[in-house]
Amino acid sequence: MTTTPQISPGPRAAVTALAQPAPPPLRLLALEIRALGELARLALMRRALRQAPRGDGHPVLVLPGLMSSDWASLPMRRFLSGLGYAAYGWGFGINRGPRGTLEADLAARLAAIADRHGRKVSLVGTSLGGIYARQLAKAFPHLTRSVVTLGSPFAGSPRATRAWRIYEWASGLAVDTCDQHMGGRLALPPPVPTTAIYSRTDGICAWQCCVEAKGPLSESVEVASSHIGLPHNPLVFQVLADRLAQPEGRFRPYRPAATDGLIRRALAKGRQATAEAAARPAGAVLLPARSEARSGTR
């Protein structure tokens, strides 16, 4: 039976109950191989994704995750360009953390795009890129239209991720100093419409750290996905298109449109197989995952 996507109730209550969540278990880390299947399904769902809401042409800046680059966001940026948005990559190569002049460079990039179009910019970021997006929106709300994060661990312990040691190695910064950067405390929501997309089967970041406090301009939307697969998960694309299509200055919580149905039916077939695979020991044979929302190129 297919479950209708809905806003995940009380995500902040879950975070409070688990104030210090641990990194995801090894079995979920092993299941990150699902990202390959999610990329393949993106091609299969291309026709269904054409039903996504059209954009109004405003610019969208897409920020990659740790040790990733604009190559990872290319499918997303092509999708957004096809909907009529002016989609931009970040343009700084591999994301090795906020070292050197990166924060000033990001601020200049945001300002240049806003100036070029004469409009506010929507910010979309995966994992660490989503943290950049939130912090940019806090520092420059007058340039930011909305924020969407994908599996970004901005709440809870900065060590509740399988990647914190990689972050320290790549950036040369202590993970515990994460609140001492542009925009201030990571957990505080930006003063613009903000949607946090997360997955309880994330194998890299504890999902409890990736949910947003519910507020008049903020929400969390849950999907079933790997962490690595979030930037090319078809249902993430559908949620993203819906969020970016909101009129500027107006915010409504995410509600699946009727056009989501085809994607849900196509992705729901393997739901039981995914649940069984996640329950197996890490050494067991892994089955490809199927995604289902449960929420919420240049």
Q: Where does the pLDDT of residue 90 fall: very low under 50, low under 70, confident under 90, or very high at 90 and above?
A: very high
Residue 2 lies in a domain: no
Domain count along the chain: 1
Q: What range defines the domain where residue 133 resides? A: 11-279
Q: Residue 3 pLDDT more than 50? A: no
Rounded Cα–Cα distance for residues 23 and 161 (Å)? 5
For 177, residues 6+ apart whose C-beta sits below 8 A from its C-beta are none
Residue 258 lies in a domain: yes
CATH number, position 224: 3.40.50.1820
pLDDT digits (tens, 9 = 90+) for 155-209: 989 999 999 999 999 999 999 988 888 998 999 999 999 999 999 999 999 999 9
Q: What is the pLDDT of residue 23?
A: 95
Residue 269 lies in a domain: yes
The distance from CA 106 to its chain's CA centroid, rounded to whole angstroms, is 18
Query: Which two three-digit tokens encode residue 77?
Result: 């940026």
Q: Residue 294 corresponds to which amino acid?
A: R
pLDDT digits (tens, 9 = 90+) for 40-78: 999 998 888 988 999 999 999 999 999 999 999 999 999
Q: What is the pLDDT of residue 288?
A: 33
Q: Residue 131 corresponds to which amino acid?
A: I
Report the 10 Å Cβ neighbour count for 172.
11
Q: What is the pLDDT of residue 47?
A: 86
Residue 55 lies in a domain: yes
Rounded Cα–Cα distance for residues 248 and 164 (Å)? 35
The pTM of the full predicted model, rounded to 2 decimals, is 0.82
Residue 284 lies in a domain: no
